[in-house]
Amino acid sequence: MRTVLSFVSGVVALLALLAAVPLLWLSTHIANEDGYVRFSSTLAKDAELQRAFSAYLSDELAARGVIPAAIKGPVASVLSQAAASSSNEAGFVEAWEETQRSSHREAFADPMPKVLGIDIGPMGTFVAKQVTGDLPVAITVPDNLVVPVVTSAGDREVVDQVEQSTRLGRIAGIVAVVAAATCIGFARRTSAAVMWFGAGTLAVAGVLWLSSGPVSQEILDHTEAPSEFARTVQKLLVDRAAESLDAWLVILAVGGGIAVVAGFVGRTVTRRAAR
């Protein structure tokens, strides 16, 4: 009976761990406002984002009559260079973080707006000031220059589901810890239970690592992008998310490996002592 209870508890612990890791990542990196701002702040220095931002800004300014359409190309080039050279300056990164913080608050507002966007006004104003003397026209970036990023009802439902990740992640984490303790506590050989649970943890890390790529592509394939800038932001966020989760999985795998070694050593020592 003890062996069966230990085995069942171990399976429950591993299944709960399989759910807890991605849920807790979502909770700390997406659902939490400060965590999301820290996570997304690295995008400000990404060259692909800077090019997409500069192209969208110049197109939007030309469409609004702020700059003549005839010089839109040169303006985009100058803005792109300014964005790249300004990316290491605190003002540019802070402007992007301000944009991300306001976008996060809008996304998790109640009620949720029909269209979720990114206000690139702060970034546009910062970059425009850097190129004032390099262009034949003065650039005044309009207030509330919002780029729509999420427009479909289905995508907004996903945001609502992400909001539940904190509660669900904590529940899954507690279940994993309690079940793991039960598994080891009821095992006839503690060292063997630790070793096999460590191997299971390694398997969980492997499953999550193998599935992260297809899941990331699935998200991109089924998320609408109203503009090239929106698609770039979506792609970079998903790529960064996969990289960040992989770092968690490395730690999980290392922990599982340590448990395997510790269990194996303990089992060896126990067998020798019994002889």
Within a domain: residue 36?
no
Within a domain: residue 111?
yes
Within a domain: residue 35?
no
- Same-domain pairing of 170 and 263: yes
Within a domain: residue 115?
yes
Q: What is the predicted pLDDT for the residue at 147?
A: 81
One digit per residue, the tens of pLDDT, for the chain of length 275 reads: 777 888 899 999 999 999 999 999 999 999 999 999 999 988 888 888 888 887 888 787 777 777 777 777 777 777 777 766 766 677 778 888 888 898 888 888 777 777 777 888 888 888 777 776 666 667 777 777 788 877 666 666 677 778 888 899 999 999 999 999 998 888 888 888 899 999 999 999 999 999 988 888 887 777 777 788 888 888 999 999 999 999 999 999 999 999 999 888 877 777 666 55
Quote the crossing angle between the two packed helices 228-274 and 33-40, to the nearest 10°: 100
- Same-domain pairing of 124 and 179: no
- Same-domain pairing of 265 and 170: yes
- Same-domain pairing of 67 and 6: no
- Same-domain pairing of 155 and 245: no
Q: How many CB atoms lie within 10 A of CB 55?
A: 19
Q: What is the predicted pLDDT for the residue at 52?
A: 84
Q: Decide: 16 and 179 in contact? Cβ < 8 Å.
A: yes
Query: Domain range holding 74?
Result: 41-159
Instruction: Identify the domain boundary among 159, 186, 201.
Output: 159
Within a domain: residue 34?
no
Q: What is the predicted pLDDT for the residue at 59?
A: 80
Q: What is the predicted pLDDT for the residue at 68?
A: 73
- Same-domain pairing of 143 and 103: yes
- Same-domain pairing of 60 and 9: no
- Same-domain pairing of 144 and 195: no
- Same-domain pairing of 12 and 55: no
Q: What is the pTM of this model?
A: 0.84
Coil/strand/helix, residue 116 = strand
Q: What is the predicted pLDDT for the residue at 78?
A: 74
Instruction: Identify the domain boundary among 143, 159, 175.
Output: 159
Beta bridge partners of 148: 117
Query: What's the domain count of the chain?
Result: 2
- Same-domain pairing of 205 and 185: yes
Q: What is the predicted pLDDT for the residue at 245?
A: 93
Among 259, 251, 165, which Cα is nearest to 208's?
Answer: 251
Instruction: Identify the domain boundary among 102, 128, 159.
Output: 159
Dist CA 10 CA 160 (whole Å): 32
